[in-house]
Amino acid sequence: MQTPFLIGTNIYLRPLERSDAATAQAWLNDPEVTRTLRRFWPISLRAEEDYIESIQKSEHDLAVVVVLKAEDQPIGLAGLHHIDFKDRHAEFGIGIGVKSEWGKGYGTETTRLMVDYAFATLNLHRVHLQVYAYNPRGQRCYEKVGFRTEGVLREHCYREGRYWDSIVMGILREEWVRQP
């Protein structure tokens, strides 16, 4: 394991490094990967390097690489963004970039690790996210972790020739703590 930050059963999370830029760029330029993300335009290597540099300096964003423990192989990215230390909330985001690893529970494990860190270490009160209506796999993942639907932004995004709803989901610290 290289610089583990949070360690789970099958994966660990480590800081996003400049050396990850080319891997992240490949994932973020893959239309199948970005289909469920807010990103919809291509990214250059330089732009990804600049993003990584800015995120490392940010006091309100935390970005990590999702790594399979057994192979020590990066498979995705996750983060807490727009961390508000006054009102104690943040926005969660995740993308598993290695398509052969989809559907194996790594997204759920990553989400649990990040939500636990948000509540247990950062002392946040709420974590929220948006998931597109055409992403039922993502919705199930977040529901397994304890997120609840809070609202719908009707026809909020345009993809694949039509408008889609964005589902706003959130989890409160007390809901996280009460889970079995």
**Segment 116-162, tens digit of pLDDT:** 999 999 999 999 999 999 999 999 999 999 999 999 999 999 998 99
Distance CA 61, CA 51 (A): 11
In this structure, what is the dihedral angle of CA atoms 123, 125, 129, 133, given to the nearest 10 degrees?
140
Helix axes 106-120, 136-145, angle to 10 degrees: 40
**How many other CB atoms are found less than 10 A from the CB of residue 4?**
14
* Contact present, 6 and 59 (Cβ < 8 Å): no
Distance CA 20, CA 105 (A): 23
Position 40 scores a pLDDT of 79
Residue whose structure tokens are 């039509």: 162
pLDDT of residue 180 exceeding 90, the answer is: no
**Segment 69-122, tens digit of pLDDT:** 999 999 999 999 999 999 999 999 999 999 999 999 999 999 999 999 999 999
* 87 vs 3, higher pLDDT: 87
Q: Which two tokens stand for residue 112?
A: 């649990």
What is the chain's Cα-based Rg? Answer: 16
Position 125 scores a pLDDT of 98
